[in-house]
Amino acid sequence: MHWWLPLKGSTFAGDIDGLFLAILIITGIAFVVVEAGLIWFVIKYRQRPGRKAFYTHGNTRAEVIWTTIPAVTMVALGLISNHYWVRIKGRNSVPANAYPIAIHAKQFEWQVTYPGADGQLGTPDDFTVRNQLHVPVGRPVVVHLSSEDVIHSFFVPVFRVKQDAVPGMDIKAWFQATVPGQYELGCAELCGMGHYRMRAQVFVHTPEEYDAWMKQAAQEAKQ
């Protein structure tokens, strides 16, 4: 049971979790320091008999310090996260050998179209399965996201992949699964009254299992 974060199920998971933990630690330290300072000021400068309040302009050095530290921290986090952004969602980030799958979102289901034996989308041997995403382990997969009605959001927590599907746009997202198993795909964008039930099952197969499933699914689609 993963009580903290979901299973690391893709090549992205380690980097994203590391960045998440770094931000959590930094903001946690900042929270403790600020709250401790607040409590200290409340106690030290509380009202006392015979003590009068006085006006002070402030401390320029302290103001520079507490402005510079957060600014430098934010710039550093921005540069680090930009590196991951380019690798995961950059314009040229999708590997050349990525396996293509088309996912069409609509209220309230996912229609997943697989390429046939030719491995190319948009050909006569394509077939569509409702609410089931099957992928091979260890191989880059690129999903072509589209939406029929409103904005939906393709989200597989174990892959650490989240990407909006916008009507009128063909948006790509890619990942490489690393752990065979059965997981969940959900919509992470409020898309209507049935948003809560817009779910699909994700199956990560070994290459042999995936080839066998593809043959069976293609035959069933022809019937």
- Domain spans of the chain, in order of start: 13-89, 99-222
Assess contact for 117 and 207: CB atoms under 8 A.
Answer: no
- Each residue of 131-180: pLDDT tens digit? 999 999 999 999 999 999 999 999 999 999 999 999 999 999 999 999 99
Closest CA to 207 of 137, 141, 133, 140: 137
Which of 213, 214, 199, 206 lies closest to 157 in space, CA to CA? 199
pLDDT at 50: 84
Which residues are CB-contacts of 212 (< 8 A; sequence separation ≥ 6)?
none
How buried is 180 (Cβ within 10 angstroms: 0-12 exposed, 13-18 middle, 19+ buried)? middle
- Asked if the 99-222 domain carries CATH number 3.40.50.300, the reply is no
Predicted local distance difference test score (pLDDT) of residue 147: 97
- Distance of alpha carbon 32 from alpha carbon 50, whole angstroms: 32
Cα 28 from Cα 223, distance rounded (Å): 57
3-state secondary structure of 137: coil
- How confident is the model at residue 51, as a pLDDT? 82
pLDDT digits (tens, 9 = 90+) for 199-222: 999 999 999 999 999 999 888 877
DSSP assignment of 40-60 equals HHHHHT---TT---------H
**Cα 70 to chain center, whole Å?**
25
- CATH number at 13-89: 1.10.287
